């Protein structure tokens, strides 16, 4: 495992690169061994159940990568269960208001910081770790809570969202954001560039990390200039497809 936790590296603004991991635990392990800093376990775009997510987390733990789960929604019970499984953090999609962000943070933190309940979970050694105070303090310090701003409503409220105590990062979803702003086929439209800068200003004001999934080097460079530091580089299915197509084309020329 990495010498520092994912959330420590996130808060230090290290450049952290991820691939998504949803196809299978074997693919998750392969991507972890490829050297990605973290894995974006995608339970929103893929029909992953809790057992699927657990196996993907376990596979990633055989490597030096950190498993972070993009959930399908902001259900507090699912947030607790996924963190109890050993995820380094959660990414919650379609966050639109500060009140929603506060509920998400509360679900991910134990008292007095939140409402997460203590169980004999995997992260607590299935009950073998008996020092509850130490476990609670460590879990509160190490669970990364990241929200996705990816619609016009969330963008309008991003200053208030970024101000929510306990939030570690904001991830801009460029695909949905472009659709919401009326420029679905123009990822570098002026309104999109303005959105990236608006989110960046809000995050900087409150000292939280910024991430996104850049579709081009131009988008990546704009975001780096604005202080974005953690990135999804590609989807596991897309990486497999690209490698397969390239290899097939190469061998057809032999």
Q: How many domains does the chain have?
A: 1
Sort strands 230-234 and 38-42 into parallel, antiparallel or unpaired: unpaired
Q: What is the CATH number of the domain that holds 208?
A: 3.20.20.60
**Positions of the chain with pLDDT under 70:** 1-2, 127-130
Bridge partners, residue 16, by sequence: 230
Is residue 38 in some structural domain?
yes
pLDDT of residue 186: 94
pLDDT of residue 130: 62
Give CA–CA dist 182/189, Å, rounded: 10
C-alpha distance across the termini of the chain, in Å: 41
Is residue 1 in some structural domain?
no
CA distances from 184 to 44, 179, 187, 252 (A): 20, 4, 7, 36
168-195: per-residue pLDDT in tens? 999 999 999 999 999 999 999 999 999 9
Is residue 108 in some structural domain?
yes
Is residue 54 in some structural domain?
yes
Instruction: Please tell me the pTM assigned to this model.
Output: 0.94
pLDDT of residue 127: 67
Give CA–CA dist 215/62, Å, rounded: 30
Is residue 30 in some structural domain?
yes
Is residue 91 in some structural domain?
yes
State the residue range of the domain holding 174: 6-252
83-123: per-residue pLDDT in tens? 999 999 999 999 999 999 999 999 999 999 999 988 877 88
């Amino acid at each position: 495992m990495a010498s520092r936790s994912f959330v420590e590296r996130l808060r230090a603004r290290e450049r952290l690169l991820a691939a998504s991991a949803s196809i299978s635990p074997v693919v998750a392990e392969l991507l972890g061994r490829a050297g990605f800093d973290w894995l974006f376990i995608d339970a929103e775009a893929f029909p992953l159940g809790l057992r699927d997510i657990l196996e993907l987390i376990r596979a990633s733990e055989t490597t030096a990568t950190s498993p972070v789960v993009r959930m399908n929604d902001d259900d507090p019970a699912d947030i607790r269960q996924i963190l109890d499984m050993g995820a380094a953090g959660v990414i919650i999609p379609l966050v639109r208001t500060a009140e929603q962000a506060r509920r998400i943070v509360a679900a991910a933190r134990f008292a007095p910081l939140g409402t997460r309940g203590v169980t004999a979970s995997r992260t607590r050694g299935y009950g073998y770790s008996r020092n509850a105070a130490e476990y609670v303090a460590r879990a509160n310090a190490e669970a990364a809570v990241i929200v996705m701003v990816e619609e016009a409503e969330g963008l309008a409220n991003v200053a208030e969202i970024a101000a929510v105590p306990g939030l570690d990062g904001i991830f801009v979803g460029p695909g949905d954001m472009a659709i919401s702003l009326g420029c679905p086929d123009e990822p570098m439209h002026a309104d999109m560039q303005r959105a990236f800068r608006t989110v960046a200003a809000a995050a900087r004001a409150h000292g939280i990390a910024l991430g996104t999934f850049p579709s081009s080097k131009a988008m990546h460079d704009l975001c780096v200039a604005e202080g974005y530091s953690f990135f999804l580089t590609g989807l596991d299915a897309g990486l497999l497809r690209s490698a397969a197509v390239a290899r097939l084309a190469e061998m057809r020329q032999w």
